[in-house]
């Protein structure tokens, strides 16, 4: 990303340390007025929200947080200064992907580490090899191949689903799972058997394979009970699958304690630490909150965006999370989005692949509008309804829609339930977006 920024000389067009507070559409002028916390005022024709799919941290989660006498922060708000954890009693709340990264990294730095565990996670060991000049040459030699194939795979990675469960014997399936698991990547999730997302029996068999790998590493029955998902909890791949490096082995360290808060939840933060519902207080010097994000819709909802007739985007999404192709919203002319709900980039995509596709589509749309002498584009009610209906039909077929996770907004109280990411595949999504553009931006009104 630094290379691209320098190559295209983008830094002169970037304002850092700037918080956008509001954006208001003026239908009479066909313009947006954008204000920042710093007092800046911008008058623009097109507003593009590139605010990120996981950039609205859930920070205020527990009563009494302000009373804590030590250091307390969300992982997304990690202190800029050097944080000395040596000899400290550190608590980590949450074992999602970010929590796992923090736990495996700081365990050997702290005096004592207490991990507060609610939902066990399926994890995959990550290989992180070092690449030499010859490896780099061989990879770059595949440029044309990757350029042609990446945008059309299911998740925008260089690998794709190529095995069919029903075509293989049980022995062949196990061999495939073993081979892909040993790859040390996300291939087991995104390039093994697509049937795991639709067929509960296949899901359970693959889930048990992963559980077995985790049990073999943990060994301790108490840790297995706490950290390994159980049959019936949820299937492998229906939550975000974290990659890790010796994460499970961390719990064998004498300075690490795992505390279940599934049936004994955190009641409040007290001056000395964390108090659970049963009254137990865990005394701590530092509390690290790996408590997740208001995904997809959260960052844009934290800006006061007002569209046609003063319609509030945040209020609209509090009622129902709807977009057109995950790039526009009916009632909000000349507003485009990337990484927003109902597109693969909301969760299920190699982000660079998907964001490149979205920015190119938006850029071409704006250029086409200007070339035709038009000034305003907005999804129609019918166009948005058609995309939402298609999105839901695809999502309802898979097991992700039946699982409570941030993929469906279940981690944010009151958030309307809908699968946030388009689950029809990156290639299919690209084709549908291109077809809409080629058909004169079908589903949009242009004036």
Q: What's residue 173's pLDDT?
A: 97
pLDDT tens for 217-238 read 998 999 999 999 999 999 999 9
Question: What confidence tens digit (pLDDT) does each residue in 10-20 have?
Answer: 999 999 999 99
Could you write out the three-class secondary structure of the chain?
A: CHHHHHHCCCHHHCCCCCCEEEEEEECCCCEEEEEECCCCEEEECCEEECCCCCCCECCCCCCCHHHCCCEEEEHHHCCCCCCCCCCCEEEEECCCHHHHHHHHHHCCCCCEEEEEECCCCCCEECCCCCCCHHHHHHHHCCHHHHHHHHHHCCCCCCCCCCECHHHCCHHHHHHHHHHHHCCCCCHHHHCCEHHHHCCHHHHHHHHHHHHHHHHHHHCCHHHHHHHCCCCCCCCCCCCCCCEECCHHHHCCCCCEEEEECCCCCEEEEECCEEEECCCCEEECCEEEECCCECCCCHHHHCCEEECHHHCEHHHHHHHCCCCECCCECCCCCCEEECCCCCCHHHCCCCHHHHHHHHHHHHHHHHHHHHHCCCCCEEECHHHHHHHHHHHHHHHCCCHHHHCCCHHHCCCCCCCCCCCCCCCCCHHHHHHHHHHHHHCCCCCEEEC
pLDDT in tens, 342-383: 999 999 999 999 999 999 999 999 999 999 999 999 999 999
Partner residues linked to 337 by β-bridges: 49
> What integer pLDDT is reported at residue 186 of this predicted model?
94
Domains and CATH numbers, the chain: 45-53+308-446 (3.50.50.60), 124-241 (no CATH)
pLDDT in tens, 252-281: 999 999 999 999 999 999 999 999 999 999
Checking if the pLDDT of 54 tops 90, the result is yes
> How confident is the prediction for the chain on average, in pLDDT?
96
Q: What is the pLDDT, as a whole number, of residue 214?
A: 98
Per-residue pLDDT tens over the stretch 382-417: 999 999 999 999 999 999 999 999 999 999 999 999
| Average pLDDT over every residue of 166-179 | 97
Q: Do the Cβ atoms of 341 and 52 come closer than 8 Å?
A: no
pLDDT tens-digit map of 313-353: 999 999 999 999 999 999 999 999 999 999 999 999 999 99
Average pLDDT over residues 148-153: 94
pLDDT tens string 192-222? 999 999 999 999 999 999 999 999 999 899 9
d(CA 446, CA 29): 15
Which pTM value belongs to this model? Answer: 0.94
Question: What is the arithmetic mean of pLDDT over 50-57?
Answer: 95
**What does the alpha-carbon distance between residue 269 and residue 337 come to, in Å, rounded to a whole number?**
37
Supply the pLDDT for residue 82.
87
Q: Indicate whether 1 pLDDT > 90.
A: no
Instruction: Quick: pLDDT tens for 70-115.
Output: 999 999 999 999 899 999 999 999 999 999 999 999 999 999 999 9
């Amino acid at each position: 990303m630094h290379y691209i920024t320098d190559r295209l000389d983008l830094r002169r067009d970037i304002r850092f340390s700037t918080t956008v507070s509001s954006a208001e559409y003026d239908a009479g002028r066909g313009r947006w007025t954008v204000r920042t916390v710093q007092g800046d005022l911008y008058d623009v024709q097109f507003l593009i929200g590139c605010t990120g799919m996981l950039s609205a941290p859930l920070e205020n989660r527990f009563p009494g947080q302000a009373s804590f006498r030590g250091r307390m922060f969300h992982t997304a708000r990690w202190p800029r200064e050097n944080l000395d954890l040596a000899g400290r009693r550190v608590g980590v709340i949450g074992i999602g992907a970010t929590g796992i990264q923090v736990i495996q990294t700081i365990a050997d730095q702290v005096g004592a580490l207490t991990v507060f565990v609610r939902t066990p996670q399926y994890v995959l060991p990550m290989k992180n090899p070092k690449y030499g000049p010859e490896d780099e040459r061989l990879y770059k030699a595949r440029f044309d191949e990757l350029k042609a194939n990446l945008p059309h795979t299911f998740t925008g990675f260089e690998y794709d689903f190529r095995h069919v469960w029903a075509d293989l014997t049980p022995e062949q399936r196990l061999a495939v799972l073993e081979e892909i698991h040993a790859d040390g990547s996300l291939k087991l999730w995104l390039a093994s058997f697509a049937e795991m997302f639709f067929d509960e029996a296949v899901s359970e068999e693959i889930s048990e394979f992963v559980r077995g790998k985790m049990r073999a590493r943990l060994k301790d029955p108490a840790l297995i009970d706490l950290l390994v998902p159980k049959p019936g909890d949820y299937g492998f791949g229906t939550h975000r699958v974290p990659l890790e490096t010796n994460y499970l082995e961390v719990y064998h360290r004498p300075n690490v304690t795992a505390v279940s808060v599934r049936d004994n939840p955190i009641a409040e933060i007290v001056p000395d630490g964390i108090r659970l519902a049963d009254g137990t207080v865990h005394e701590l010097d530092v509390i690290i909150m790996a408590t997740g994000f208001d995904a997809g819709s959260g960052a844009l909802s934290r800006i006061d965006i007002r569209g046609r007739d003063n319609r509030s985007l945040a209020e609209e999404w509090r009622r129902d999370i709807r977009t057109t192709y995950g790039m526009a919203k009916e009632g909000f002319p000349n507003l485009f989005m990337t990484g927003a709900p109902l597109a693969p980039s909301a969760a299920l995509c190699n982000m660079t692949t998907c964001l490149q596709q979205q920015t190119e589509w938006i850029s071409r749309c704006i250029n086409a509008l200007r070339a035709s002498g038009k000034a305003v584009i907005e999804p129609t009610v019918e166009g948005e309804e058609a995309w939402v209906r298609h999105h839901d039909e695809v999502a309802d077929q898979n097991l992700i829609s039946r699982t409570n996770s941030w993929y469906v907004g279940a981690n944010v109280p009151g958030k309307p339930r809908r699968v946030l990411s388009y689950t029809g595949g990156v290639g299919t999504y690209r084709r549908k977006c291109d077809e809409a553009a080629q058909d004169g931006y079908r589903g949009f009104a242009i004036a």
